[in-house]
Amino acid sequence: MRFNDTPELAAWRQQVRNFVHENWQPAEGESYEGELGGGDTDPAREAAREKRISGWLDKLGANGWLAPAWPKKYGGADMSVLEQFVLNQELHEAQAPTSRQMLNLVGPTIMLHGTEEQKAEHLPPMLRGEVAWCQGFSEPGSGSDLASLQTRAIRDGDDYVVNGQKIWTSGAHRADWMFVLTRTDPDAPKHRGISYLLLDMKAPGVSVRPLINMADGHVFNEVFFEDVRVPVRNRIGEENRGWYVGTTTLDFERSNIARAIAARKSVEKISHYLQDRTKAGDPVAAPYRLEVADRAIETAVCALLSFTVIAIQARGGVPNMEASMTKMYGSELSQRISWTEMHISGMKGQLREPQGLEGAYKIRAAMDYMTTVPATIAAGTSEIQRNIIATRGLGLPRG
């Protein structure tokens, strides 16, 4: 593992920094750190925020930086994993949005397994941000054991008729399309008999019900299908081979460096806040110095795990256990940081809007505490990550 840039990577890093400096400046009070937050309850502010983000993403897309691993002929930039790593580092350091939702999940699947007609229909508008996508995988009884999914798709002439339910569907209330796993052969072993379909969210029989989180944020949804007709031409890959289609990835940078950078920035805010409280003669601040020191050390560990993943990828390896370690450690660290924010804020930490010095440093203890709850669930639960580490990494037998 090397920590210094090569001359080529140093030049690339400077190019990205110059581009960000010329084209992006985060607005006061706005956050772009993911989808699990509470959002803005003011419609006008939220509309302005979305407009700013869309304009910035258009500029990224014009450079091929929205989907940097994609081939240039599909609107990407053919970047190596190290170039992607540097790009992601600099964008997250600048607190700039990096991609459109689901772009690098459904896009590569269509690219590698879709027909030329499917590629022409879906890839260009996806990069231009003209359509929004959501993922229809998890079900009420099929989360960690996704292959046991029960949403049925029965062939009827040139259509499939889909019935069932999906849950925890991020962004379904805004989505135009869903990429969905359905069971097309109920008698096959559970990893077989699954087909991968592209489903129009405006088709008759689709209904979306919001799942509001404890921070009053609307990110997740339940989606119900009642005799929804999906044209057979919207199937990606072979019938009953959807499980294997759904595991498609390109050579993406998987370091999760974004979470490490966000964690470091949060701890820096806490540290500066405590220093100012101490200078003001507040004796309450002193006992928390060791706790904040622990968080600072943990953010350094989180970053080192990210560097381990990218080093493996740069050598042409596949970071399996290491990627799971990075995801699990980072998501659990985000929760520990929010607990520390609550500790140092005292009773004021229960307020949604920070007061006094907390406000000056943008320490949103209550909101961070609530919005990090799903961090160890989304994108693969900590339990799943521990199983991967145990079986694939340590060679332990399955329980």
Give the residue among 184, 169, 96, 97 at the shortest CA–CA distance from 133: 169
- In the set 83, 139, 253, 341, the catalytic residue is 253
Q: Which helix (H) or strand (E) holds 257?
A: helix 257-279
| Integer CA distances (angstroms), 354 to 29, 121, 122, in order | 12, 46, 43
Category of 185 on φ-ψ map: left (φ > 0), alpha (ψ -120 to 50) or beta: beta
To the query of whether residue 322 is one of the catalytic residues in this protein, the response is no
- Contacts of 180 by beta carbon, 8 Å cutoff, 6+ apart: 135, 136, 137, 151, 162, 166, 196, 197, 198, 199
d(CA 264, CA 270): 10
Q: What does R_g of the chain's alpha carbons equal in angstroms?
A: 22
Q: What is the largest CA-CA distance in the chain?
A: 77
Cα separation of 233 and 199, whole Å?
A: 11
| Identity of the residue numbered 320 | N
Give the Cβ contact number of residue 234 at 10 Å. 20
The number of beta carbons lying within 10 Å of the beta carbon of residue 155 is: 13
Distance in angstroms (rounded) separating the CA atoms of residues 41 and 171: 17
∠ Cα 283 289 290 (to 5°):
135
What are the catalytic residues? 253
